[in-house]
């Protein structure tokens, strides 16, 4: 197994966090502008609109994902969820309004992440894939091979597109 001091962070989350702040700010600006044009802007209304914008920002903030050679952690607003990736027993893709990848380990840990995070962050994917292979070799990972192979194809395709784009071939 690789060095446990190697830490990968998701690149996708920073862009999503900026978008969340932008949406909250735009909402506040629009509401303040409408109130100002209608002549109804007061301190209390401005505070209410600012609180509403802050709440929207908090709701839209994505989980911060970090990984080491044997752990994957998703830090949400209130708490962190960690899974031992070298002890995975299940990997499921949950389709619905938002696609989610649900990872479960032998110790009862459970993490839900957006698969786009792994597609956008090859370093995160590499650490997860290496550890999942260790779990499979140990005979622990009985459910999830298909989901991991599908995700591997997505990551490889995205990497190939990036290489072609940088080299000017595409």
Which H or E run includes 100? strand 100-105
Q: What is the pLDDT of residue 5?
A: 67
Radius of gyration, CA atoms only, the chain:
20
Are the beta carbons of 35 and 44 closer than 8 angstroms?
no
- Asked whether the CA dihedral 159, 11, 77, 17 is positive or negative, the reply is negative
The pTM of the full predicted model, rounded to 2 decimals, is: 0.74
Contact 115, 98 (CB under 8 A): no
Rounded distance between C-alpha atoms, residue 150 and residue 121, angstroms: 16
**Strand-pair partners of 100:** 94
Return the DSSP state at 96: S
Token pair of 59 as six digits: 């709701």
- Which residues contact residue 124 at a Cβ distance below 8 angstroms, ignoring those fewer than 6 apart? 8, 9, 10, 65, 67, 72, 117, 118
Q: How far is CA 160 from the centre of its chain?
A: 21
Closest CA to 92 of 58, 63, 115, 60: 115
Kindly list the domain boundaries of the chain, sorted by start residue.
9-60, 70-167
* Dihedral angle sign, alpha carbons of residues 115, 118, 121, 124: positive
Q: What is the pLDDT along the chain (170 residues), one digit of tens a residue?
A: 445 567 888 777 788 889 999 999 999 999 999 999 999 999 999 999 999 999 999 999 888 898 898 899 999 888 899 999 999 999 888 877 778 889 999 999 999 988 888 888 888 888 888 888 888 888 888 888 788 888 888 888 888 887 888 887 76
pLDDT score, position 118: 85
């Amino acid at each position: 197994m690789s060095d446990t001091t190697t830490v990968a962070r998701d690149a996708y989350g920073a862009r999503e966090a900026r978008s969340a702040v932008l949406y909250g700010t735009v909402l506040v600006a629009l509401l303040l502008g409408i109130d100002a044009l209608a002549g109804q802007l007061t301190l209390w209304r401005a505070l209410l609109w600012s609180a509403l914008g802050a709440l929207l920002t908090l709701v839209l903030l994505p989980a911060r994902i970090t990984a080491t050679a044997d752990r994957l952690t998703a830090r949400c607003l209130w708490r962190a969820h960690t899974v031992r990736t070298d002890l995975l027993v299940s990997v499921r893709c949950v389709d619905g309004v938002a696609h989610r990848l649900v990872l479960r380990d032998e110790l009862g840990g459970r993490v839900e992440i957006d698969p786009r995070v792994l597609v956008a962050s090859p370093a995160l994917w590499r650490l997860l894939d290496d550890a999942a292979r260790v779990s499979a070799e140990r005979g622990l990972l009985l459910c999830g091979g298909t989901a991991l192979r599908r995700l591997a194809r997505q990551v490889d395709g995205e990497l190939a597109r990036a290489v072609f784009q940088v080299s000017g071939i595409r």
